[in-house]
């Protein structure tokens, strides 16, 4: 068994784990900690609700089922050493890092990556550095950002239904034995900031961090409101992928050479070489997932490119859902 700050993980047979939510709460790298009655149960049930909801919308998560009020059954995953934070409104470490006022709404949700490294206080890291340090692959980074943006879009809608503002949240990802990238860990009031829309009242772990009191009263209130949602919001997920197909370096490109000579004749003297390629945009009616990534790899390799002479690369992106008004304006 493995014990973290607020949960225990028991590895079972068949690549499954049992996660036990304890009543422990901590903040500031574990410097402040306490036991709060019903905290484990409330976080467990909130996580169950949110993972079920994300599974319903098509996300790939480690969550399999609820065992009881404080335990869940999940896929075994290796947790990636990088966690992802999405922010809609400024708060927390963002304000501390940049001396920025709390409560300012960002034009676009911001996505930040942090290294899971207690000794260095989980520093902010760029995707390029995380890839360079081999903490994650380039494709992991692309997919983690796309998934996080899609999760944000859905959670903003869901919490909006119950008059709450999703300020920010943190996601963890894990790799299953079969190589899938799954949303993992927990999603609860410990891992997000939620404010009352009308009053701005804080409903999340900041109540504990900032000694605002009644932590579990507010956690339970959110769980009740989530449980009372009768119908989940409609959502038309769209993910887009751009595949770029290039001739391998060793293959001659006569069309590229003709273009190069023509450009030289026209006086473009700084051009050294021209290689032509193809690109394809593929639109999926689905949220970004590891499965889509594998499908894209197969499509790019077997159908869009000729592996004897061509290489390909692709990027998958979450496409923000268009409002009905936006769609009719474009039509
Ligand atoms: N968060 C988390 N675990 C961490 C760090 C952050 O769940 O180890 C959550 C936090 O609760 C908030 C969001 O991620 O909802 C952004 O946290 P921030 O970077 O502002 O750091 P904090 O203020 O929590 O130190």
Q: What is the pLDDT of residues 261-317, one digit of tens each?
A: 999 999 999 999 999 999 999 999 999 999 999 999 999 999 999 999 999 999 999
pLDDT at 136: 98
Which of 200, 227, 254 is the C-terminal boundary of a domain? 227
Residues of the chain with pLDDT under 70: 322-331
The predicted pLDDT at position 72 comes to: 98
Q: What is the pLDDT of residues 117-153, one digit of tens each?
A: 999 999 999 999 999 999 999 999 999 999 999 999 9
How many angstroms is it from 98 CA to the middle of ligand 1? 15
CA nearest ligand 1 atom 24, residue: 92
The β-bridge partners of 171 are 84
Whether the CB of 170 sits within 6 Å of ligand 1: yes
Which of 5, 26, 84, 85 gets mutated to test ligand 1 (max ligand atoms within 8 A of its CB)? 85
Give the pLDDT score at 327: 52
Residue whose CA is at the smallest distance from ligand 1 atom 7: 191
User: How far, in Å, is the centroid of ligand 1 from the Cα of 122?
Assistant: 10
Kindly state the DSSP code that residue 211 receives in the 8-state scheme.
Answer: T
Residue-level length of the chain: 331
Which residue CA neighbors atom 8 of ligand 1 most closely?
122
Alpha carbon separation from 154 to 75, 147, 149, 248, 321 (Å, rounded): 23, 11, 9, 41, 10
Asked if residue 239 lies in contact with residue 292, where contact means CB atoms within 8 angstroms, the answer is: yes
Ligand 1 atom 23, closest CA: 92
Q: 245 and 211 in one domain? A: no
> Is 153 found in the same domain as 117?
yes
CA of 68 to the centre of ligand 1 (A): 27
Q: What is the pLDDT of residue 330?
A: 56
Q: Domain check: are 221 and 265 in the same one? A: no
For residue 186, what is the domain's CATH number?
Answer: 3.30.470.20
Cβ neighbours for 41, distance < 8 A, ≥ 6 positions apart: 21, 69, 70
Residue 232 lies in a domain: no
SS3 9: strand
Output the pLDDT for position 321: 83
- Considering the domain architecture, whether residues 111 and 203 belong to the same structural domain is answered as yes
Give the pLDDT score at 322. Answer: 67
Whether 303 is covered by a domain: the verdict is: yes
Q: Is 185 in the pocket of ligand 1 (CB under 6 A)?
A: no
- Tell me the CA–centroid distance for residue 112 and ligand 1, in Å: 11
Whether residue 233 is contained in a domain is answered as no
The CATH number linked to 313 is 3.30.1280.10
d(CA 20, CA 10): 8
- Residue 256 and residue 144 share a domain: no
Same-domain status, 19 and 156: yes
Q: Which numbered atom of ligand 1 lies nearest the CA of 93?
A: 20
Domain containing 303: what range?
238-330
Tally of structural domains, the chain: 2
Q: Quick one: pLDDT at residue 42?
A: 98
**What pLDDT score does 308 carry?**
96
């Amino acid at each position: 068994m493995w014990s973290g700050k607020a949960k225990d993980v028991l590895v079972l047979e068949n690549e499954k784990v049992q996660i036990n939510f304890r009543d422990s709460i901590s903040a500031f790298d574990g410097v402040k900690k306490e036991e709060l009655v019903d905290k484990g149960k409330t976080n467990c049930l909130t996580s169950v609700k949110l993972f079920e909801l994300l599974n319903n919308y098509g996300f790939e998560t480690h969550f399999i089922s609820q065992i009881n009020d404080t335990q869940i059954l999940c896929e075994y995953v290796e947790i990636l050493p990088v966690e992802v934070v999405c922010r809609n409104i400024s708060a927390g470490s963002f304000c501390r890092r940049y001396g920025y006022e709390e409560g300012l709404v960002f034009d676009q949700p911001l996505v930040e990556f942090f290294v899971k490294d207690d000794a260095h206080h989980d520093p902010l890291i760029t995707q390029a550095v995380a890839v360079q340090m081999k903490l994650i692959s380039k494709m992991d980074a692309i997919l983690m950002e796309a998934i996080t943006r899609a999760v944000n879009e859905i959670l903003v809608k869901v919490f909006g239904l119950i008059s709450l503002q999703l300020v920010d949240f943190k996601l963890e990802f894990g790799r299953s034995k079969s190589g899938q990238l799954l949303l993992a860990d927990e999603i609860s009031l410990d891992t997000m900031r939620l404010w009352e829309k009308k009053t701005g009242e804080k409903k999340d772990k900041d109540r504990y961090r900032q000694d605002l009191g009644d932590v579990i009263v507010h956690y339970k209130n959110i769980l009740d409101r989530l449980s009372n949602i009768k119908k989940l919001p409609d959502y038309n997920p769209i993910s887009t992928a751009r595949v770029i197909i290039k001739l391998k370096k060793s293959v001659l490109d006569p069309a590229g050479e003709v273009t190069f000579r023509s450009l030289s004749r026209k006086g473009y003297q700084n051009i050294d070489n021209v290689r032509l390629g193809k690109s394809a945009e593929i639109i999926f009616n689905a949220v970004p997932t590891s499965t889509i990534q594998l499908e894209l790899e197969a499509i790019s390799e077997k159908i869009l490119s000729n592996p004897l002479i061509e290489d390909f690369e692709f990027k998958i992106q979450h496409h923000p859902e268009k409002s009905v008004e936006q769609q009719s304006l474009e039509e």
